[in-house]
């Protein structure tokens, strides 16, 4: 069993842009293989892992979804000089891009850096302002013909920041949104490894969350879970995040409360965290959770959903920060919850008047 820190560092060193999750999917698949009974890949590219429960059929199913896809960029154009224009995949603030090292996944991976042309080379309206994404370029330093040979329109581009450890169990890097949750889901499976549980457990690393919530829309249609929990990251307090929307880095599990959180599941997870002394905070979202739960809830005849999050600083930058402690706490809470689920709990996940 891989130490979770090492696994996470591997995860965030891999590409896996939305729609192009194959490299990271293979590594997750290898890690989960000994922990589950069955592995498969959905038509859309989500990884489905099943660890069977022991209660009689028809057995209730819990789906745990953590999206594995990453934000990034995509090549749109190659200039005659061999510089590469690009567009974003997922939401990117163009102000964090200049001077950022990246990797272009052409015929072979190419290292490069995002550059902002100087004011004199840009429209006068851009002078002294943050340069719009359409004017930013990737410079690989290679001759134009070499770039043309190796790179084509539509090639994915990923951040090239190496993982960094900061004191006391903090990890910094790109794509911790949402590989941190993939790691938490892995902790959960590791915890369940030798245990038996009543419910079937479907661990799902979803594809394309950042663009279309595609995995969240399609995987539950195939699996038809009794209950589905999205595991994602949320804003940690820090520079730029000071109000109620920020949770505490290394402050524990974040339980989401809002329209995609079924009240019974929320109550149970909260009570369990208190019982187990796992620190937690509550995050309220008035309308949409911005996670796979938003998609999963309205699949087919509707699915009870819940959102569990990990606090993360500097979301959608190449220097996201999370605490390994929070990852372990989320993994443990989910595992303990699963261990306590009984077939009768299906009747409990209902609405007060029914």
Partner 1 sequence: MKALIQKLVETVGPSGYEEKVREVVRAEIEGWVDEMKVDALGNLIARKGTRTEGGMRIALSAHMDEIGVIATHVDENGFVRFTTIGGVSPRTCIGGRVQFLNGVRGVIYMESLESATALPTLDQLYIDVGASSRETCPVKVGDIAAFDRPFLDLGGRLVSKAMDDRISVAVMIQALKELTATPHELYFIFSTQEEVGLRGATTAAYGVDPELALAVDVTRTGDTPKGVKMEVALGKGPAIKVRDSGMLSDPRVVRWMVETAEKAGIPYQLEVLEGGTTDARAMQLTRAGVPAGCLSIPTRYIHSPSEMVDYQDVQLSVRLLVALLSAPVTLK
Partner 2 sequence: MSPATSAPQIGENQIALLEKLSNACAVSGDEAQVRRIVLEEIKPFADDLRVDALGNVLAVRKARTPGALRVMVDAHMDEVGFMIVEDDKDGLFRFVAVGGIDERTLPGKKVLVGSENVPGIIGAKPIHLAEEGETERKIPLESLRIDVGLKGGKKVRVGDRATFATRFWQSGVALFGKALDDRLGVATLIELFKNPPENIELLAAFTVQEEIGLRGARPAAYAFNPQLAVALDSTPANDLPVWDGSENIFYNTRLGGGPALYVADSATLSDPRLVRHFAQTGEQMGIPFQFRQPGGGGTNAGAIHRVREGVPSLSVSVPGRYAHTAVMLARLDDWQNTLALVYHALSRLEPGILQR
Q: 232 near 260, Cβ under 8 Å?
A: no
Distance of CA 315 to the CA centre of its chain: 11
CB of 234 to partner 1, least distance (A): 25
Binds 302, which of partner 2, partner 1, none (CB < 5 to 8 A, cut-off by type)? partner 2
* Under rule CB under 8 A, residue 347 binds partner 2: no
Can you tell me which of 83, 303, 322, 333 binds partner 2, judged by CB under 8 A?
303
Q: Is 80 in the site for partner 2 (CB under 8 A)?
A: no
CB 295 within 8 A of CB 256: no
Cα separation of 51 and 339, whole Å?
Answer: 12
**7, 86, 235, 257: which one binds partner 2 (CB under 8 A):** 257
User: Does residue 26 bind partner 1 (CB under 8 A)?
Assistant: no
CA distance 94 to 86: 11
- Closest approach of partner 1 to the CB of residue 225, in Å: 13
Query: Who's near 278: CB < 8 A, 6+ residues apart?
Result: 252, 253, 272, 329, 332, 333
Q: Which one among 7, 8, 11, 20 touches partner 1, defined by CB under 8 A?
A: 20
Strand order through the sheet with 38-41: 38-41, 47-51, 200-206, 61-67, 227-235, 305-312, 253-257, 280-284
- Between 282 and 301, how does the x/- string for binding to partner 2 read (CB under 8 A)? x-x-xxx--------xxxxx
Beta carbon nearer to partner 1, 18 or 305:
18
Q: Are 204 and 223 in contact (CB under 8 A)?
A: yes
- Residues of this chain that bind partner 2 (CB under 8 A): 243-244, 257-259, 262, 282, 284, 286-288, 297-304, 349-354
- The catalytic site residues sit at 209
- Residues of this chain that bind partner 1 (CB under 8 A): 18-20, 22, 42-46, 74-78, 85, 87, 89, 134, 152-154, 208, 211-212, 214-215, 217-219, 221-222
């Amino acid at each position: 069993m891989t130490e979770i820190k090492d696994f996470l560092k591997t995860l965030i060193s891999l590409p896996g842009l939305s729609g192009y999750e194959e490299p990271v999917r293979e590594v997750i698949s290898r890690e989960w293989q000994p922990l589950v009974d069955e592995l498969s890949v959905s038509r859309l590219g989500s990884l489905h892992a099943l660890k069977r429960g022991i209660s009689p059929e028809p057995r209730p199913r819990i789906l745990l979804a953590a999206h594995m896809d990453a934000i990034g960029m995509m090549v749109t154009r190659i200039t005659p000089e061999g510089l590469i224009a690009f567009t974003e995949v997922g939401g990117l603030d163009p102000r964090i891009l200049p001077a950022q090292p990246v990797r272009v996944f052409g015929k072979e991976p190419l290292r490069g850096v995002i550059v902002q042309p100087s004011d004199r080379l840009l429209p006068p309206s851009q002078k002294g302002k943050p340069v719009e994404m359409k004017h930013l370029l990737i410079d690989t330093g290679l001759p134009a013909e070499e770039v043309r040979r190796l790179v084509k329109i539509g090639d994915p581009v990923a951040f090239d920041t190496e993982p960094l450890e900061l004191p006391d169990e903090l990890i910094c890097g790109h794509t911790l949104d949402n590989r941190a949750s993939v790691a938490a889901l892995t902790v959960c499976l590791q915890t369940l490894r030798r245990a038996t549980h009543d419910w079937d457990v479907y661990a799902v690393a979803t594809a394309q969350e950042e663009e279309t919530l595609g995995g969240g829309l399609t995987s539950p249609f195939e699996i038809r879970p009794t209950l589905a929990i999205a595991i994602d990251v949320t804003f940690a307090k820090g520079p730029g995040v000071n109000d109620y929307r920020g949770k505490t880095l290394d402050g524990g599990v974040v339980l989401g409360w809002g329209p995609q959180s079924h009240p019974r599941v929320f109550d149970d997870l909260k009570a369990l965290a208190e019982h187990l002394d796992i620190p937690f905070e509550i995050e309220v979202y008035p309308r949409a959770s911005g996670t796979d739960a938003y998609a999963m809830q309205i699949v087919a005849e509707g699915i009870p959903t819940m959102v569990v999050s990990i606090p993360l600083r500097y979301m959608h930058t190449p220097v996201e920060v999370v605490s390994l402690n929070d990852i372990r706490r989320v993994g443990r809470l989910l595992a303990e919850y699963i261990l306590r689920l009984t077939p009768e709990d299906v009747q409990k996940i209902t609405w007060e008047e029914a």
